Amino acid sequence: MSVMKRMKFRLYASLGISAAIGMTFGVLPCGFGGSETAYADSMGRQNMYRLYNPNSGEHFYTANGIERNQLVYAGWRYEGIGWVAPVRSAHPVYRLYNPYVGDHHYTLNGNERNMLVRQGWRYEGIGWYSADRNRAYPLYRQYNPRAVRGTHNYTLNGNERNMLLRAGWRDEGIAWYGIGPGKSAPVPQYLRPSGGAYPNLNQVVDLNIEVSIAKQRVYVKNGPRVIYTMIASTGVANTTPRGKYYVTGRGASFYNPNEGMGANYWVQWYGDFLFHSVPTDANGRYIISEANKLGHPASHGCVRLSIPDAQWFYRELPNGTPIWIH
């Protein structure tokens, strides 16, 4: 093994605990066990899910749908199916975890696995398998020498690999092989308009807003006719006031230290009660775990909207617009 490789292995295990002090999300134990039985890669197919931690920069990969769902609930972004792997083959991909910084590493190389274990990494078993014969779907591996966490990236996408190399990542070749292509996840609801193109509110003669707490929807109306529908989140435990109100003001953003969250693009309709985007943290970053609740009661009484929907209301909804909440 080269001197450079040995130095990098020592770096993996010596990363300081201080890097883990920031906000982190836990990853479940692998649960695959340590079996290394060889199989042909024709025994079935499984989707490999790719997730991203916006706080640490780590990409995470798993075949376990329950693990994926729990990480999404904890605030990880689901990026879709990274590739399709064989259910079994003669070439296991090992999964390891660095408890000092909360980072994962994946490798076909048993020697690399063993060296990382000696340096303090935890071996979590076989994560998935590489194709035995199929070479149509190579997973490229890149290394970021400047990162403390999220040091490696694995992708089928040659354009993604090349972009990272131009940004200073190091090309480490092919990590393993899949047996099928990936598929990007749909854009999350909180990042997109609820109903496509927005109508021009300047042309609406009898503009009014209806909020249905039961349906978690906001209806933009021209008189009695609905012209646009938005997915919303009202208050938990019936904390959103019911009644008739009017738009009274607006602002670009706010932060409430007592609640530990704020939001962007607020439109006021009664006291401290607002329409606004999904929540942000103290640093102005959207809180993904809260954003994923859109469509369900989740707020302290305000009406949460997707980021584009909230921005549209902030820019276009006139003061004095009547609002009916029921």
Enzyme catalytic residues: 276, 302
Q: Which two tokens stand for residue 167?
A: 């940004």
Residue 147 near residue 12, CB atoms below 8 Å: no
Q: Which helix (H) or strand (E) holds 13?
A: helix 3-14
Residue 211 near residue 234, CB atoms below 8 Å: yes
Kind of pairing between the strands at 207-212 and 152-155: unpaired
Q: Which two tokens stand for residue 168?
A: 């200073």
Edge-to-edge strand ranges of the sheet holding 225-233:
243-246, 322-325, 207-212, 217-222, 225-233, 303-305, 273-277, 261-270, 249-256
Residue 268 near residue 247, CB atoms below 8 Å: yes
Q: Which two tokens stand for residue 252?
A: 């670009």
Residue 317 near residue 303, CB atoms below 8 Å: no
Nearest partner of 95 among 180, 44, 36, 136, judged by Cα: 36
**Cα 139–chain centre separation:** 21
Distances (CA, A) of 259 to 188, 267, 282: 24, 19, 10
CA 234 – CA 305 distance, rounded (Å) = 9
Q: How many CB atoms lie within 10 A of CB 139?
A: 25
Q: Which two tokens stand for residue 299?
A: 């707020």
φ, ψ for residue 114, nearest 5 deg? -65, -40
